């Protein structure tokens, strides 16, 4: 992300920050016996095999985030799926495009994915306008598209930036509204949000680093505790996909 804002960050630093954050996420998920799906680029997976093996051993799902985060070619869809499967001896069934970029539904299907979660069905100036896209899951050919969750009213996104910048009480209210209306919640974060990323050289805007690092760890822990106390269950995309296809 610093690269988008002309920040300076060596490749090794990029990887180590995400590795540090991923360890913190896995520790919290383990504490609450919560399962999650991790969309990884091939580049990160190749440089973090020990952590990918850990998340798989702890019952989480590995899905594709294509090959690179900052460069995309359509052939990366199939290539990234096959490389992740080769590296870890698993069946990769899901895709999320970096930055929720649009992608050809035919190419996703041809690459062999069963589900795609690459749409935020809301309007964010300069990023995307998906107000006409279904709020909830739908079919694109043989592939199930599972959009990120937005509030039933006004389509306020419950993505990572909302989690950082809204009062947690308001975020919980929106999450409750979505769970009541849709019967499921699809939210997402990045490992680097849980690491120390307020280095001036990164040139990240304040709204992207607010409540990051240790503050994010505490916030995420409190949120999972709240969901757990309300008897909500946690699952991977693979499990959810099987449930809705049954």
The CATH number linked to 111 is 3.20.20.370
Q: With a cut of 90, say whether residue 4 has pLDDT above it.
A: no
Residue 121 half-sphere exposure toward CB, CA atoms < 13 A: 21
Q: Which residues are within 8 A (CB) of 168 and not within 5 positions of it... i.e. 6 or more apart?
A: 219, 222, 223
Q: What does the pLDDT look like over 83-125, one tens digit per residue?
A: 999 999 999 999 999 999 999 999 999 999 999 999 999 999 9
Residue 9 half-sphere exposure toward CB, CA atoms < 13 A: 22
Instruction: Give the domain extent around 117.
Output: 2-245
Q: State how many domains the chain has.
A: 1
Closest CA to 66 of 47, 51, 81: 81
Closest CA to 188 of 67, 25, 31: 25
With vertex at residue 57, the alpha carbon angle to CA 53 and CA 58, rounded to the nearest 5 degrees, is: 120
pTM of this prediction? 0.96
Q: With a cut of 90, say whether residue 5 has pLDDT above it.
A: no
């Amino acid at each position: 992300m610093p690269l988008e804002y002309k920040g300076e960050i060596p490749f090794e630093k990029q990887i180590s920050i995400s590795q540090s954050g991923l360890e913190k996420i896995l520790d919290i998920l383990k504490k609450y016996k919560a399962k999650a799906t991790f969309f990884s680029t091939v580049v990160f997976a190749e440089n973090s095999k020990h952590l990918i093996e850990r998340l798989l051993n702890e019952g989480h799902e590995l899905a594709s985030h294509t090959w690179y985060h900052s460069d995309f070619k359509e052939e990366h869809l199939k290539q990234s799926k096959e490389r992740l499967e080769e590296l870890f001896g698993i069946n990769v069934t899901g895709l999320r495009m970096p930055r929720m970029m649009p992608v050809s539904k035919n190419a996703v299907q041809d690459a062999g994915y069963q589900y795609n979660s690459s749409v935020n069905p809301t309007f964010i100036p300069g990023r995307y306008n998906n107000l006409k896209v279904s709020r909830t899951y739908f079919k694109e050919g043989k592939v199930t598209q599972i959009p990120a969750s937005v509030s039933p009213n006004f389509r306020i996104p419950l993505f990572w930036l909302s989690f950082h910048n809204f009062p947690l009480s308001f975020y919980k209210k929106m999450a409750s509204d979505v769970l009541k209306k849709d019967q499921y919640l699809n939210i997402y974060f990045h490992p680097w949000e849980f690491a120390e990323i307020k280095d001036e050289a990164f040139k990240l805007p304040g709204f992207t680093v607010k409540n990051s690092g240790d503050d994010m760890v505490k916030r995420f822990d409190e949120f999972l505790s709240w969901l757990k106390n309300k008897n909500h269950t946690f699952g991977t995309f693979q499990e959810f996909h099987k449930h809705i296809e049954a």
